[in-house]
Structure 1
Amino acid sequence: MAELVGGSLLSAFLQVMFDRIASPNVVAFLRGKKSTEKSLQRLKTTLHAAGAVLHDADRKQITDSAVKSWLDDLRDAIYRADDFIDEISTQAETRVEVENCFYRSFNLNARKMNFKIDDVVDRLESILKHKDILGLRDVLGRETLSWRHQSTSLVDEFDVFGRENEKEAILELLLSDDDNDKISVLPIVGMGGIGKTTLAQVAYNNDQVKQRFDLRAWVCVSEEFDVSKITKSIVESITCHACGMKDLNLLQLDLKDKLSGKKFLIVLDDVWNESYVDWDLLRRPFEFGTRGSKILITTRSDKVASVVRTLSPYCVGNLSDDDCWLIFAKHACLYVDSVVDSNIESLGRDIVNKCKGLPLVAKTLGGLLRFRRDIRDWNIILKSEMWDLSQEESEILPALRISYHYLSPQLKQCFLYCSMFPKDYEFEKKELILWWMAEGFLEPSMKGRL
């Protein structure tokens, strides 16, 4: 993540640094310390100069390795500067009540502090001298747009466009008992963002499916294929209660008892593991269900499909531009008003053409431009250089990169902090906020409202 959005990360980081330098505690702490104030002001000036080119560098580092290397050097220097600001901020927060003692203690370290700051500034200035050689321009980006996304087994069917044939085909396969195998496994295969999970959600929540199966379970598997955890999640999905067992043998015996004599539907969403041995171990309790039971698996991998399948994989294709437009327009709220600006609609359709039939891209960009009616915002998205990524990268990446790029600096900082968690890691909202507070990402006024 940091490699992809290095410049944006630094922009967010700089904003937080400036806020800390301008905090009342730090200002009061430095009052009367002229030499340190002067060094810190020189640092701020240099950081502002760095921030002015980050918007341009953030775009160019995607295709220019020299710019990316330059950003790496700049990031290291900025992180060193942040260490000193953190030291000053800590002293300001923890200063002692006796002003004279505090003043003498500070003076003992002031010269060393000033030397460190000047050393960092010299390095920053040396790095910034190369910006002209790299052709980087001073650009202040209009980074004010935002988005957010997450999915569950629930689905808003009014949000599904252009998938009638796919829905009918998958439902027919799920509701049929014609397969020779007692337990049928249907893989849904397609690239990221194509709508595999949405189709599985629609099928899972279909009224006929609910009546057809005695038990249903939905589990998001993702990259970590831990047989014990997946088995436990299936048990919990069936019972709607937490399961305290951890031993795989006990878990599989419990799942076997719950599935025995029952016709079940189990959805395993986002499977990546290609090991037949792991799959063979996971599926053993499934064999105790009755004929007509189904396992629905969504995956990007043809090899995964070949390992698990008993039915031919169902491959999901791209949407038409017209269907993508319906998704985009809904999430951009274009038709809330009775009249839509023709220029906005024209730009929107040009953006949708770049979505390449991927519904998640259309939804993400529609949400990014939600209720935005300034043509400049739409042109920024349409003409972004991030569309010109190498074809070796995922087709969905440019749009998601753009949606990140236009977050505010503070939200970028908070968002990127989450990238250290493994995929599908569950965390408590309040705990995450406390971590953000500990890192100094939140304003003091925000802390008081927790």
Structure 2
Amino acid sequence: MKATEANFDGLVGPTHNYAGLSYGNVASRNNEKSVANPKAAAKQGLRKMKQLADLGFDQGILPPQERPSVRLLRDLGFVGTDAEIVARAAKEAPELLAAASSASSMWTANAATVSPSADTSDGRVHFSPANLCSKLHRAIEHDSTRRALRAIFRDEKRFAVHNALEGTPALGDEGAANHTRFCSKYEDKGVEFFVYGRSEFQRGPEPQRYPARQTLEASRAVARRHGLEDGYTVFARQNPDAIDAGVFHNDVIAVGNANTLFCHEQAFVDQKAVYEELRVKLAKAGSGLNVVEVPTSAVGIPDAVTSYLFNSQLLSRRDGKQILIVPQECRENPRVAAYLDGLKGGDSHIDDVLVFDLRESMKNGGGPACLRLRVVLNDAERLSVGLGVWMNDTLFGRLDAWVEKHYRDRLSPEDLADVQLLNECRTALDELTQIMAIGSIYDFQR
């Protein structure tokens, strides 16, 4: 049965702000305490989704999470009404209120790891929500992520949505940002590629400046629970020097699609051996491997990190040609722009490059690839997903009006203390669940 790769982008939430919560993410820390524009951020994301849908790609939507998270603040000892809790947290522990208010669930590349039915032992599409335990503001996401995924992929005969792994450092799991699938055609059996930064139990090189977030143990656990075969999985260690340069996830230095890997020459430990293992296992799946390796002489790691060249989307059009979706910052970096000008066609297997303005997300360290979760679906699986989550002219119009109605055009870290923001967020999300027809997935709706 024919299959396609759908991209499920995260809608930017009403509390989008720059609190600088993500140590190791250079852009996040560099823009700490600056003023954000949630309305512009949401509309930039919507325009990207709509343009890709107009180009013929299957484009889905994942909803934002309720923020600020009163549940987190209650767990941390704050008591009273919801409004009293927000006010007290703002006064006594603004750093905790900032964590509870983060809109980071917009970056759905971290929502889960997804394995298509062609790869799994039970023939279902498997989702493992990421525990994101390395950061407080993200570690609170997985429960709501699981609810949203089960509301959208609700047919249990076709989909399995797991709980997150235990939130311990030994099982640090950052989701699809450290996972890629290679194949000849999307409906064929593929090779799943897991990238990790450290191992709890096996010795190896580790970064010295910034922490490695993904563990080998978490990657192997996800592969086991998804029922993947050892002969069709590859586990590779991130280059620790790259992590120390700001490559906090693999998708900051590598991206893959179909049988093409687009990466920096300093992406992995023992990189040539990684290529060889991928080639051998892909050959068993009936496919070759095309590697487009960017040399340091052309683009250094600092350029890759600031431009997010590799935090791009590599997509297959229906005519078989591949396009690369990059942020505007790639055109503003002379070295990266020069590389892209010489990239298209030939041995690159990349036929076109499209540029998107995602400035609000980029300032927080999230590019095109961060904003989407890839889900390979065959025709029957796609039909079982509700129509309210697929981008089209009608849904775009409704969501654009929804953002215009509910979102602020200015939000500073100090504005998080405004208790009215909680009410604005809940009103917006309640209306959104009706637009998307996904039911009552939020705590305040229950």
TM-score by length of 2: 0.24
Structure with greater proportional strand content:
2
- Larger Cα-atom Rg: 1
TM-score by length of 1: 0.24
Structure with greater proportional helix content:
1
For CA contacts below 8 A with separation 6 or more, give which structure has more relative contact order: 2
